[in-house]
Structure 1
Amino acid sequence: MSATSPCRFTPLAVALAGASAVVCGAFGAHALSTRLDPQQMAIWHTAVSYHFWHVLAMALAAIGCRGRARRRAVQLLLAGIVLFSGSLYALALGAPHWTGIITPFGGLAFIAGWLVLGLGLRQPPD
Structure 2
Amino acid sequence: MMKTSGQKLLVAAALLGFTGVALGAFGAHGLKQTLEATGQLKNWEKAVFYQLVHAVALLALTGRPLPALGKIGGCWIFGVACFSGSLYWIALGGPIKGLWPVTPLGGLALLAGWAMLAWSAFRQKDA
TM-score category of the 2 structures, normalised to the smaller one: 0.7 to 0.9
Q: Please tell me whether the aligned partners of residues 91 and 100 of structure 1 are also in contact (alpha carbons under 8 angstroms).
A: no
Q: Does 2:7 align with 1:17?
A: no
Alpha-carbon RMSD across the aligned residues, in angstroms, is 2.0
2:71 is matched with which residue?
Answer: 72
TM-score, L = length of structure 1: 0.85
In the alignment, is the contact (CA less than 8 A) between 1:64 and 1:121 conserved in 2?
Answer: no
Displacement of 1:52 in angstroms is 1.2
- Mean alpha-carbon deviation: is it higher for 108-117 or for 82-91? 108-117
Structure 2 Cα separation of the partners of residues 16 and 24 of structure 1: 12
**Corresponding residue for 1:93?**
92
Check whether the contact 1:44–1:92 (CA below 8 A) recurs between aligned residues.
yes
Give the deviation of 1:29 after TM superposition.
0.6
Quote how far apart the aligned CAs of 1:9 are.
Answer: 1.2
Structure 1 residues 49 and 9, CA gap change in structure 2 (3 angstroms): same
Indicate the residue corresponding to 2:29 in structure 1: 30
Structure-2 residue corresponding to 1:59: 59
Check conservation: 2:10, 2:58, Cα contact below 8 A.
no
The 2-side partners of 1:110 and 1:65 are apart by: 20
CA distance in 2, matches of 1:120, 1:59: 17
Hey, what's the Cα distance between the residues in 1 that align with 2:29 and 2:125? 45
Q: What's the TM-score, normalizing by structure 2?
A: 0.84
- Deviation of 1:50 (Å): 1.0
Letter in structure 2 aligned against 1:81 = V
1:55-107 CA-partner distances (Å, limit 9, x unpaired): 1221232233424x111111100101000000000000001122233100001
Which whole-Å CA distance do the structure 1 matches of 2:46 and 2:65 have between them?
27
Q: Percent identity?
A: 36
Distance between the aligned counterparts of 1:43 and 1:65, measured in 2?
35
| Equivalent in the alignment of 2:107 | 107
Conserved in 1, the CA contact under 8 Å of 2:32 and 2:41? Answer: yes
Call closer, same or farther: CA 1:6–1:93 in 2, change over 3 Å: same
How far did residue 33 of structure 1 move?
0.3
